[in-house]
């Protein structure tokens, strides 16, 4: 047993308290209040709840500080009171413990509650690991100043966040014991996909003194996870489940697990090896009182439970070299000049026009077809479906655009695993346009991660691991492309995000259409320290209106000189000819600076794309020589 835990608690079973939020809610505090702030404004109420848990038999009470970090308090405008709220929360619990000690035999302890920050951390979110560690340290300083005996890092959803909390605890209070508890799903796995065995091993390696499970869907789920945790560590174990799942009854969320039911599982937790047993959401002093009685009866029969096997942290696999993952990967690796054309999926189920276009483009020597993923948030055939059809029916390789708009991290992993398994090996990682831009503006967006987080997910899958660090058997072998917009107004943010994408694992980038060479040159100069192969976007304009749309709606930099040239084209045919001429000029000027071009085919006019880049194709031909071209000209 960990010596710090032995010094405080010995080897006896320790009963912890139950839910603070549930009891505050039952006392009439509305859920739109900041419960952590009550440490300042309603101290007597908070202290009275601590008193009730102590009277029920709890030996460890947690401070009312679960959400008292700067990220969560920001929602209430209280981000400047992190230290004060945490210090007050620890002092209230300390006062309750000291008051209880004056009336009862035995000592009780105060655990400083540290919950998740409520934001996604890198690699899946925008908050850096360092920012997370700083936020945790700020909270822990307040708890230490208030006099806690230990820290309870609880309801862990993502292990990388737990690591930062533990590191912060080690930095601020290296002598305080740390209890770290994960939140698990119905199958007993952590919510980021990590198995309990691996979670226990990692938490112990980072410096936790006690590991366990809390919250989740109820005691049965926690018991399953607890048994798995025991296989990953020899540290003391903790079990603090919810009182089941809440049910809405007369407008109130009610937890239906009775005190007797929780007490029966307290005995099972003890038998499974738990030393620290308590409750989370829905548990009340009545639940803790019943659990105390059950543990007193069973504690004498407790046997020591040792891990059944040592669990090793799974090591990643080495992905295939870029040149072996796809034809595009080989071309990028070899430094060849790559040509791509974008084909937008149809709005219905008939993809014959798109397939004919792909066949025609393949016959001209185009290397790959880019397939957008519901561009402009429009409802279209899935990009993945069209990619499959194009590859199966024409043989040309595709690049699947994949956005984060419509998917959570579970479906993202499922889609990418599926894409790899059926031979779609090229992924362009995109954040995605918000639904308000499309034809269903009231549709709900997901955005669990952005393009940077998506790159990290693909990179992990390429190394044979899901986002929870669990093995998937082998590498997905995907090539990783990202987007770049050299003409975006906030270029500093674009450069910063591009650097993050490269750091996350991006292997080449495709730009927005280029109409201003000075902007492209400036962008390439800015990314010299972290440059990857760049594929320049080329768009054959079809009209002045098309040029204005590019500039005003798509945020593409279109110089006034280009707009003037399109304006001076007197007829639609002359406008299309001028648009092709501009595209050819952009191609000639960008070729020395980039490693390829992606050409768009406005409104499905695929011959325009061929005409724009015919000078770099292996066997230049006029479109009239091919029957397929006649069938698809606008």
In a domain, 314, yes or no: no
pLDDT at 246 over 60: no
Taking only the tens place, the pLDDT of each residue in 92-107 is: 999 999 988 866 656 8
Q: Coil, strand, or helix at residue 210?
A: strand
Pairwise CA distance, residues 457 & 88, whole Å: 40
Range of the domain at 600: 337-632
The pTM of the full predicted model, rounded to 2 decimals, is 0.71
Tell me, yes or no, whether 262 and 356 share the same domain: no
Report the C-alpha gap between 288 and 141 in whole angstroms. Answer: 29
**Is residue 341 located within the same domain as residue 281?**
no
Single out the residue in 274, 299, 324 at which a domain terminates.
299
User: Beta 252-255 vs 246-249: how paired, if at all?
Assistant: antiparallel
Do 118 and 31 belong to one domain?
yes
Which CATH number belongs to the domain containing residue 520 in this structure?
A: 3.20.20.220
Q: Are 343 and 200 in a shared domain?
A: no
Q: List pLDDT tens digits, range 595-608.
A: 999 999 888 889 99
Rounded Cα gap, residues 96 and 64, in angstroms: 12
Residues 242 and 140 in one domain: yes
Indicate whether 479 pLDDT > 60: yes
Question: Does any domain span residue 317?
Answer: no
* Domain stops at, among 271, 299, 327: 299
Find the range with the poorest average confidence among 252-256, 455-459, 478-482, 496-500. Answer: 252-256
pLDDT range class, residue 303, cuts 50, 70, 90: very low
Cβ atoms < 10 Å from Cβ of 415: 17
Question: For a pLDDT cut of 70, what percent of the chain falls above it?
Answer: 91
Residues 364 and 258 in one domain: no
**Same domain, residue pair 341 and 438:** yes
Same-domain pairing of 396 and 469: yes
Residue 483 pairs in a beta bridge with 510
Q: What is the pLDDT of residue 631?
A: 35
Residue 489 has pLDDT above 90, yes or no: no
Q: What is the pLDDT of residues 68-95, one digit of tens each?
A: 999 999 999 999 999 999 999 999 999 9
428 is a domain residue? yes
pLDDT in tens, 433-452: 777 666 667 777 788 888 98
Q: Is 280 annotated as a binding residue?
A: yes
Q: Are residues 32 and 82 in the same domain?
A: yes
The enclosing domain of 249 has a CATH number of 3.20.20.330
pLDDT band at residue 254, thresholds of 50, 70 and 90? Answer: low
Residues 6+ apart with CB under 8 A from 611: 540, 580, 623
Question: Counting beta carbons within 10 angstroms of the beta carbon of residue 589, is it exposed (0 to 12), middle (13 to 18) or buried (19 or more)?
Answer: middle
Picking from 253, 277, 299, the residue at the C-terminal end of a domain is 299
Total domains, the chain: 2
Does residue 165 belong to any structural domain of this protein? yes
- Residue 220 makes CB contacts below 8 A (sequence gap 6+) with 265
Query: Are both 391 and 295 inside the same structural domain?
Result: no
Tell me: is residue 215 an annotated ligand-binding position: yes
Q: Is 429 assigned a ligand-binding role in the annotation?
A: no
Q: Are residues 419 and 564 in the same domain?
A: yes
Q: Is residue 326 part of a domain?
A: no
């Amino acid at each position: 047993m960990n010596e710090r835990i032995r010094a405080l608690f010995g080897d006896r079973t320790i009963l912890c308290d139950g839910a603070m939020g549930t009891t505050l809610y039952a006392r009439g505090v509305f859920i739109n209040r900041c419960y952590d702030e009550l440490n300042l404004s309603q101290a007597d109420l908070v202290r009275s709840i601590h008193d009730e848990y102590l009277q029920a038999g709890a030996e460890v009470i947690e401070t009312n500080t679960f959400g008292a970090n700067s990220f969560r308090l920001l929602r209430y405008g209280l981000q400047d009171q992190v230290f004060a709220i945490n210090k007050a929360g620890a002092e209230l619990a300390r006062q309750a413990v000291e008051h209880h000690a004056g009336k009862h035999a035995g000592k009780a302890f105060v655990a400083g509650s540290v919950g998740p920050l409520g934001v996604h951390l890198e690699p899946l979110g925008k908050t850096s690991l360092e920012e997370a560690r700083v936020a945790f340290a700020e909270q822990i300083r307040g708890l230490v100043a208030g006099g806690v005996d230990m820290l309870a890092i609880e309801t862990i959803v993502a292990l990388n966040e737990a690591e930062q909390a533990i590191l912060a605890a080690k930095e601020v209070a290296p002598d305080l014991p740390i209890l770290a508890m994960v939140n698990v799903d119905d199958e007993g796995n952590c919510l980021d996909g990590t198995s309990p065995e691996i979670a226990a091993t990692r938490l112990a390696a980072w410096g936790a003194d006690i590991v366990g499970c809390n919250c989740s869907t109820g005691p049965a789920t926690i018991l399953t996870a607890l048994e798995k945790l025991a296989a990953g560590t020899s540290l003391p174990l903790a079990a603090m489940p919810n009182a089941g799942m809440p049910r809405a009854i007369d407008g109130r969320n009610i937890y239906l697990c009775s005190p007797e039911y929780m007490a029966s599982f307290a005995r099972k937790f003890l038998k499974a090896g738990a030393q620290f047993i308590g409750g989370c959401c829905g548990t009340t002093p009545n639940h803790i009182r019943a659990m105390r009685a059950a543990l007193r009866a069973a504690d004498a029969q407790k046997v020591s439970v040792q891990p059944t096997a040592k669990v090793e942290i799974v090591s990643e696999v080495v992905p295939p070299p870029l040149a072996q993952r796809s034809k595009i990967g080989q071309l990028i690796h070899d430094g060849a000049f790559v040509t791509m054309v974008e084909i937008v999926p149809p709005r219905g189920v008939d993809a014959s026009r798109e397939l004919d276009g792909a066949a025609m483009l393949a016959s001209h020597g185009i290397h790959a077809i880019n397939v957008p993923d519901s561009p402009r948030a429009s409802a279209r055939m899935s990009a993945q479906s069209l990619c499959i059809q194009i590859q199966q029916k024409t043989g040309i390789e595709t690049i699947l655009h994949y956005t984060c708009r419509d998917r959570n991290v579970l479906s993202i992993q499922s889609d990418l695993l599926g894409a790899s398994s059926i031979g779609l090996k090229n992924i362009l990682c995109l954040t995605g346009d918000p639904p308000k831009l499309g034809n269903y503006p009231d549709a709900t967006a997901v955005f669990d991660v952005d393009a940077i987080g998506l790159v990290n997910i693909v990179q992990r899958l390429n190394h044979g691991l899901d986002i929870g660090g669990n093995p998937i058997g082998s590498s997905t072998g995907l090539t990783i492309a990202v987007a770049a917009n050299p003409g975006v107004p906030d270029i500093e943010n674009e450069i910063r995000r591009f650097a993050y994408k490269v750091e996350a694992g991006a292997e080449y980038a495709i730009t927005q259409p280029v109409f201003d060479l000075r902007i492209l040159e400036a962008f390439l100069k800015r990314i010299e320290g972290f440059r990857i192969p760049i594929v320049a976007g080329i768009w054959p304009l079809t009209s002045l209106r098309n040029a204005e749309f590019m500039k005003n709606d798509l945020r593409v930099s279109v110089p006034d000189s280009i707009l003037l040239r399109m304006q001076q084209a007197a007829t639609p045919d002359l406008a299309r000819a001028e648009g092709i001429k501009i595209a050819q000029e952009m191609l000639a000027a960008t070729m020395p600076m980039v490693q390829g071009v992606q050409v768009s085919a406005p409104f499905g006019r695929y011959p325009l794309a061929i005409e724009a880049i015919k000078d770099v194709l292996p066997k230049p031909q006029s479109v009239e020589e091919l029957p397929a071209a006649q069938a698809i000209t606008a």
